[in-house]
Each structure stands twice: as structure tokens, then as C-alpha cells.
Amino acid sequence: MTESKKVLVAEDSSVIINLTKNVLMFEKYNITAVKNGKQVLDKLASEDFDLILMDINMPVMDGIDCTKAIRALDDKKKSGIPIVAITGNYKNYTLDDFKKAGLNDYIQKPLDYDHLLATVKKHLTSTE
């Protein structure tokens, strides 16, 4: 058994955080949750993660700005981490906008947990 993968969930809704944690912990992923983009950058400065689930609409620093900041990091391992957007208003953005910002993929709200899990697994297995 390989070491469990570390997923950072950036989401300002505690309901979604709890549901996401339950789904991913069932698969033995190690979950850390934060509430905004600034906290993502703080966490990333002190820890390594295998994947980030990034809500686009968050207070303090949104998911797009946070993703751009991560992609600009000097640490290649951290700047290259797979980032999946979680968004309720994806209509404001196209997949192209997400790709330009440096996001690898996106999941629409309301979350479909099978799709969430499949997307997380897709990005985590490609990094092994």
C-alpha cells in the first residue's frame, strides 16, 4: 500500500468540505481543508500535497488568483500540483479560462460525488 495521497480542499462551505472529506476519506485519502486562497498558499508553504480541490468563489483570495499564484511558485513540485476547480457558476468561466489560469480540470456544483471521486482518482493516479 502506498502512502495515502494528500488532498487540500479549498472551500468556504463547511457542508461541502464535510461531504468531500467523507467521500475522499472513504478512499483513504488524507484531507486538509482551508477556507480561502490565502490559506491554501500558507498551507502549501509548509506542506506538500498531491492534489488541490479549489473552490473558485472564496473570500480573501479566489480560486483563480490562488491557482495563478501557485503556478508562479519557484518550487517546481508545488507549482505543478494538479488543481481541480469546484465551481457553482462555471458559466462565468469556460474550460479555456480555467486552463489559462492553470487549473487542470473542474467539477460543477452541486457536486456529484461519483464524478468528484473519479476526477480526483484520475489526477492522482497520473502522478504516481
84 contacts 52 by C-beta, under 8 angstroms: yes
- Residue 128 reports pLDDT greater than 90: no
Q: Rounded to whole angstroms, how far apart are CA atoms 46 and 24?
A: 22
Average pLDDT, the chain: 91
Whether the upstream peptide bond of residue 59 has omega within 30° of 0, thus cis, is no
Pairing mode, strands 51-55 and 105-108: unpaired
The DSSP code sequence of 94-122 is: -HHHHHHHT--EEEESSP-HHHHHHHHHH
Q: For 34-58, what is each residue's pLDDT tens digit?
A: 999 999 999 999 999 999 999 999 9
Q: What's the mean pLDDT in 23-39?
A: 95
pTM, rounded to two decimals: 0.92
Confidence label for 97 from pLDDT (cuts 50, 70 and 90)? confident
Residue reference for cell 468556504 = 12
- What pLDDT sits at residue 1? 47
